């Protein structure tokens, strides 16, 4: 992506001031049973904490399925799954990438100058779809957790999203490692990004506020059978970076053809997309 881009409050068991005296009285009458009131109190407090923990787990579980788009995105429709960099232009260039994937990282770095040039042209908006293929391939949840954290950064602004993703690329572990599954690690990386407010970012990561959004993005990506990431969509036509042998030069030609078509003119030599390129994104 380069440059472009509650707490479960355990109830505090309190005892009335008069209870110890009552226990003492009971103990005097039944010496062998003096421990029972205290045991009952411990069990009661443990039950309260266990109930609180269960409620907290239920809330966290709900957030992994509830759909909550990051700030700045529509709440419904295909666009709600893509994080845009610049709106209202003739061509939308959507990049599907996996934050745990080496291929996605290398693509983001290699194509950063091309993306910058296309954005400067004023004819292209760039959007990112975060998917989690590598979690299925390697096991674990690192890709999903990193995508949720990136969405938490987006809550604070597109610059924060761009810079946080760039930091994830810099610190990306080997795909066989699930280091991104650590919320503490993802929060630590955010401290290096200017503008991210830790007080808002930390609970968003810990409670996985956007996990349902991440899950929906991956489900739609898989259902569309778009192949391995990275995948690029140009105004509704998708291209596999490897399968279609995409290059920066070819991408610029695809965008130029899409611009002409959007402006109502017939492109002189529109590239022929492969079978995968004919599928609609999302």
For 106-139, the pLDDT digits (tens) are 999 999 999 999 999 988 999 999 999 999 999 9
Alpha-carbon separation of residue 13 from 1, 10, 40 (angstroms): 50, 9, 12
For 256-281, the pLDDT digits (tens) are 999 999 887 544 444 434 434 444 33
Which one, of 135, 116, 132, lies nearest residue 124 by Cα?
A: 116
- How large is the average pLDDT for residues 231-236? 95
What pTM was estimated for this model as a whole?
A: 0.66
Q: What is the dihedral sign for C-alpha 182, 185, 187, 190?
A: negative
Task: Give the C-alpha separation, 149 to 167, whole Å.
Answer: 12
Task: Give the C-alpha separation, 264 to 135, whole Å.
Answer: 42
CA geometry: angle at 186 spanning 60 and 114, to 5°?
A: 120
Q: Which residues of 246-280 are buried (b: 16+ CB within 10 A; e: fewer)?
A: beeeebeebbbbbbbeeeeeeeeeebeebebbebe
- How large is the average pLDDT for residues 69-87? 61
- How large is the average pLDDT for residues 38-57? 38
Mean pLDDT of the chain: 77
Task: Give the C-alpha separation, 165 to 150, whole Å.
Answer: 6
Bridge partners of 94? 127, 233
pLDDT band at 30 (very low <50, low <70, confident <90, very high): very low
Higher pLDDT, 251 or 86: 251
């Amino acid at each position: 992506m380069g440059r472009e881009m509650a707490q479960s409050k355990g109830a505090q068991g309190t005892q009335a001031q008069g209870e110890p005296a009552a226990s003492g009285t009971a103990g005097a009458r039944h010496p062998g049973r003096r421990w029972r009131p205290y045991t009952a109190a411990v069990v009661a407090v443990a039950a309260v904490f266990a109930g609180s923990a269960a409620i907290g787990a239920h809330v966290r579980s709900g957030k992994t399925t509830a759909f909550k788009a990051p700030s700045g995105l529509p709440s419904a429709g295909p666009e709600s799954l893509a994080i845009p960099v610049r709106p209202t232009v003739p061509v939308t260039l959507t990049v599907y990438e996996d934050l745990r994937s080496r291929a996605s990282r290398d693509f983001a770095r290699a194509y950063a100058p091309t993306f910058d040039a296309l954005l400067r042209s004023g004819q292209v908006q760039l959007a990112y779809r975060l998917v989690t293929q590598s979690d299925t391939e390697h096991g674990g949840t690192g890709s999903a957790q990193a995508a949720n954290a990136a969405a938490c950064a987006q809550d604070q602004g597109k610059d924060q999203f761009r810079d946080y993703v760039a930091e994830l690329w810099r610190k990306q572990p080997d795909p066989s490692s699930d280091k991104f599954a650590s919320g503490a690690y993802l929060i630590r990386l955010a401290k290096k990004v200017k503008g991210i407010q830790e007080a808002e970012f930390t609970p968003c990561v810990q409670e996985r506020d956007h996990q349902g959004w991440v899950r929906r993005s991956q489900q739609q990506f898989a259902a569309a059978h778009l192949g391995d990431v990275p995948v690029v969509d140009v105004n509704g036509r998708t291209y596999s970076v490897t399968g279609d042998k995409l290059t920066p030069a070819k991408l610029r030609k695809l965008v130029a053809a899409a611009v002409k078509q959007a402006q109502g003119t017939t492109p002189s030599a529109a590239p022929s997309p492969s079978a995968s390129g004919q599928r609609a994104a999302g």
